[in-house]
Structure 1
Amino acid sequence: MKMKFKYYLGLAAAALTMVGCSEEFLDTEPTEFVSSSQIAEYSEANPGLQAANVSGIYATMYETGTGGTTGHDDYGQKGYDLYSDMLSSDVVLAGLTYGWYSDISRMQVTQDYTIQDNYQVWRYYYRIVFAANNVIDGLGGNDAMPESDAGKLYLGQAKAMRAYAYFYLSQFFAEEYDPAQPILPIYTEPVTEAKGLSPTSEVFDLMISDLNQAIELLDGSSVAALQEVDKAVAQGLLAYVYGAMGEYEEVQTITEDVINTSGHSILSAEEVVYDMETGTGGGGLNTVNNNSWMWGVDLTSDQGLNLISWWGQFDIFTYSYAYVGDPKSIDLGLYNAIPDNDVRKNQFQVVDGFGENHPLPINKFYATGRTLGGQRYIDTDYVYMRIEEMYLLHAEAAAKNGDEESAKNALTTLLSERMDDTSYLDGLSGQALEDEVYLQTRIELWGEGKSYLAMKRNKATITRASNHLTDAGAEIPYNDDRLTFEIPLSEIQNNPNINEQ
């Protein structure tokens, strides 16, 4: 189906300007956080003093410039979700008017450590590591066990966020899981002395330890807002960590518990897509009020996000790059793999003026007014994790564990809200069942930053469809070095313990 909108490309494009990037060396104690040394001596008696620091960690996930640049692709976690979606090739850069993401789409960044995007990814996640270390140190250190509920909450969240940061670093800067391979410096205290690369096994051991402690500390606690990590989110992160290791028995157990105890429910068929004929249905995956969302942030215009935002890069109903010449579309191979009786097919439409071969996600992600370029200040929300991920991880783990009945049950529960006939699942087994889970993960979580993680877990080879502007038809294995970022030039120049990739 092709849609027509009034399209004022020239006028809108003229109003946008390019902004260059500036490099900033990694700051171990960013200015928006209260100094650890200033409050550490008081925090044990009054853990609430750490509230501002914990809040600062969460703000880092959506604020602009947190990767240390002024780039219009520097806006926190969702920016790196888009990086990963393009590297996995499920998201297509459908225009080159302004050039943001062109080096990512062409896989040039991942072959040249001098390109700023490598630094941006590295700097963002280590910024969170150091911020989390400040909180942990202020609450008594890595071995502390606070007595107060507030202390347990903040320490649990800080440890979960440190693990979150190391997890994404481990995915972005290592081609695959190899326990003996040195991959990252480990920092667990608020120190500035540069460290060398630690082996993968030690990085993952730290993540597992942090997340298990976080789960224990957060058990029984409630959070004030969806942007905060609770027990279920920490469990979800742990499932991702074990999945990256191939420890699927752990994944199956953890995800089953989250599904059964978190209280979150799968988006219904009506909720997951906007119905253009009736003008109803669908939350546009734009609100934290969706009960499927486990982790996300409630954005308001008061926070001042506008041009530089994930919505600006993805949504043609937001006044920014997607609207004026750099839209993001679905890989045609993946689009064609969605059955016609699957409601998610209708999440994507070809829109006049945006490319004949580029179905856009206008019925999955959209500003509520649905006016081209209409949203100026962002009040549509960001999603970081939703319950559907747990069902898909559970199905993946069960299939790989040989528990095909559980895998099919989890898939059926999800797909019964996406299509009217799931009986085809009954005939799947072995590799065919594993392949189906992987496909459904790519379809369900398209544009949410999860395809790259699934590609690595499943050791998949991606094939870029004909609508990619570069490297169309290329087949790229999951461990190709073009899919992994380089340790940035600034780190090699400033860290005497790292002198090569």
Structure 2
Amino acid sequence: MKKSVIYSIVITSLLSVGCGEEFLDPVRNTQVITSEELAALAPDNPALIAGTLEGVYSFMVQPGGVLGTSRHYDLGQKGVDIYTDMLSGDMALSANSYGWYQNVANLVTTVDFTREENRIVWNYYYKVINISNAVINNLGGNDAVPADATTRHFMGQAKAARAYAYFYLTQLFQKEYNPTQEILPFYDGVIVSPAKVPASQIYDQIIEDLNQSIEYLSDYTRPLKNQIDKNVAKGLLAYTYAAMGNYSEAKILSEDIINTGGYPLTTTGQLAFPGSGSGFNNVNTPSWMWGYDITNEMGHQLVNWWGQVDYYTYSYQWAGDRKVVDSGLYAAIPSNDIRKSQFGTSGVTNGMPINKFFDPGRAAGGQQAITTDYIFMRIEEFYLLSAECSANSGDEATAKNRLKELMALRLGSLANANAYVDPLVGQALKDAIYLQTRIEFWGEGKSYLALKRNKATSTRGTNHVFRSGQSFFYNTDEMSFQIPENELLNNPAITTQN
């Protein structure tokens, strides 16, 4: 059998497995390779493991990966990003012609476990965990010590991918950090716990996986940015510690990424059209730490994140399901801030991110075969996370310095940044950092994480179709997802929601 055929079978078989009782299905499918068979092949065919690992990355961007391409908001990680941006209130659904996001925007999904959006989120992350567990087991299991650099790098990426999935599950399905609360089923490739385990067990696994990943990837130079390297693993660990309120460790990791990662800040020109190199559409942008190169060969068209947010792509944003910046958040952006120009100001594009996320052709509904890229992580996240953690731990000098570095490029000069930052102290400084996080990462899926970390209240502006003007605390039922109906039906070990 040709190697390429083997890789295809491996990935397809792994993607077909979900969570709950599906992990335990005893029926043997003779058309796919078992873990035992793959393990036997792996020593002489390391590319088999690479193919399985690639299944994790490809699943992150696969349209319809959970429920099929008929569900046009089932988009992998970027689909989840839209959900969370809407929950945070910073992304407003200002026109609802096709109805794909009405249950999320109306905060119905998060209080009704029968809604399929809950199933999409739940199954997506547990499938990432399942594929990652397969890679880890095929390399000898959780406690194995890789014998060579290649297997060490595979193991490091797989453990980071597993941690990434568990981290998002903790953020999406627990209202707020409580280490003793039982929140999620736990699977690590050896332990099978269909019942919910305490959050502390999940967080301990995340931290262990990411620390080991950082060690294993210390000498890894990735060929493509879709792969996880040590800096991405450090970033995920920084987010984990920050979610736990461990500001000291989160700050140390953030500063390490800034000082040793080699990533420059996004330039003023890159922040908004028509600046030089503008547009958040190219994975080769130097400030991007983690992203995915979407190519014509991948066949992405109507069902795609770009179609949901970009007016210049042929899909829903152009056709009438409009996702725009919350009017209150937009009003909080100073007039001399380059990021204010990321959004349209009139007509059908009013509030749309037409100068931040756009197909370079810039023809309304023009891009049909998607070649604009996905962003997962960039260096600015850690300038602002360092500032946030510094302010919360009493180190206001570091908080202000990091905020100034970023704001100088947004406000046009260091003098303007100084004028904005210098007067800030105490809670006002923390509030400013949170605001800048919301502005900076609009549409990138980060505002929801910041809402939870800052124990903030989401107040919707006037341009939302649903729940306009209403406010929601970070830990209300509406702000977290529900364990889906199919999991409760198929997994008798779970009897209650969180």
Please give the root-mean-square deviation of Cα atoms over the aligned residues, in Å. 1.8
C-alpha displacement at 1:238, in angstroms? 0.2
2:153 is aligned to 153
Letter in 1 for 2:336: N
Report the counterpart of residue 82 of structure 1 in structure 2: 82
Alignment of 1:128-277 (within 5 A): 128-189=128-189, 195-275=194-274
- Measured in 2, the distance between the counterparts of 1:46 and 1:148 equals 14
Q: 1:249-296: CA deviations, max 9, x gaps?
A: 001100111001111111111111102xxxx53431000110000000
The aligned amino acid for 2:53 is V
Report the 3-state secondary structure (helix = DSSP H, G, I; strand = E; otherwise coil) of the residue aligned with 1:55: helix
Whole-angstrom CA distance in 2 between matches of 1:111 and 1:168: 19
CA distance in 2, matches of 1:400, 1:419: 24
| Structure 2 residue 39 is the aligned partner of structure 1 residue 36 | no
Give how far 1:332 is off: 0.6
Instruction: Tell me by how many angstroms 1:475 deviates.
Output: 1.2
Secondary structure (helix, strand or coil) at the match of 1:184 reads strand
d(CA) in 1 for partners of 2:24, 2:354: 40
Aligned mates of 1:52, 1:29 — CA distance in 2? 23
Tell me, in whole angstroms, the C-alpha distance in 1 between the residues paired with 2:399 and 2:486: 45
- 1:379-426 CA distance string (max 9 Å, x none): 000000000001110100111111111001111111111003112211
Deviations 1:11-42 (A, max 9, x none): xxxxxxxxxxxx99645499999642221134
**Of 356, 363, 367, which residue of structure 2 is paired with 1:371?**
363
Contact 1:351 1:360 (8 Å CA) reproduced: no
Seen in structure 2, the aligned counterparts of structure 1 residues 315 and 170 have a Cα distance that, compared at 3 Å, is same
Structure 1: segments with no counterpart, 5+ residues = 1-22
- Residue 47 of structure 1 and its aligned partner are, at CA, apart by 3.7
Alignment equivalent of 1:409, drawn from 387, 390, 401: 401
Tell me, yes or no, if structure 1 residue 388 matches structure 2 residue 388.
Answer: no
SS in 2 for 1:95: strand
Distance, in Å, in 1 between the alignment partners of 2:46 and 2:112 is: 44
How far did 1:500 drift?
Answer: 1.6
Give the match for residue 288 of structure 1: 283
Letter in 2 for 1:121: V
For 1:457 and 1:93, how far apart are their aligned partners in 2? 24
Q: Provide the rounded CA distance (Å) in 2 between the counterparts of 1:360 and 1:282.
A: 20
CA distance in 1, matches of 2:17, 2:130: 15
Tell me the distance in 2 between the aligned counterparts of 1:109 and 1:94.
Answer: 18
* Residue in 2 that maps onto 1:315: 310
Quote the residue 1:92 is aligned against: 92
**What residue identity is the alignment partner of 1:123?**
N
Identify which of 393, 399, 402 aligns with 2:391: 399
Rounded Cα–Cα distance in structure 2 between residues aligned with 1:190 and 1:49: 21
Q: Quickly say closer, same or farther: Cα 1:444–1:170, change in 2 above 3 A.
A: same
Q: Secondary structure at the match of 1:338?
A: coil
Counterpart CA distance in 2 for 1:56 and 1:401 is: 40
Give the secondary-structure state (helix, strand or coil) at the position aligned to 1:418: helix
The residue identity in structure 2 corresponding to 1:261 is T
Shift of 1:45: 5.7
- Post-superposition offset of 1:499: 1.4
Match of 2:424 in 1: 428
Report the AA paired with residue 359 of structure 2.
A
Specify the alignment match of 1:476 in structure 2.
472
Cα distance in 1 between the residues matched to 2:371 and 2:85? 23
Q: Is the 8 A contact 2:18 2:127 kept in 1?
A: no
SS of aligned partner of 1:327 = strand
Structure 2: 5+ residue stretches without partners: 1-15
- SS at 2:166's partner residue? helix
| Contact 2:296–2:371 (8 Å) recurs in 1 | yes
Question: How far apart in 2 are the matches of 1:28 and 1:366?
Answer: 40
> Which amino acid in the other structure matches residue 78 of structure 1?
K
Which has a greater percent of helix?
A: 2
Question: 2:71 aligns to what SS in structure 1?
Answer: coil
TM-score of the two chains, using structure 2 as the length reference: 0.92
Q: Percent identity?
A: 47
The separation in 1 between residues aligned to 2:219 and 2:23, in whole angstroms, is 32
- Hey, what does 2:492 align to over in structure 1? 496
Q: Contact 2:271–2:339 at 8 Å: present in 1 too?
A: yes
- Report what 1:106 is aligned to: 106
Match of 1:17 in 2: none
**Distance (whole Å) between structure 1 residues aligned to residue 362 and residue 227 of structure 2:** 29
Distance 1:349 1:435 in 2: 26
Residue 15 of structure 1 aligns with which residue? none
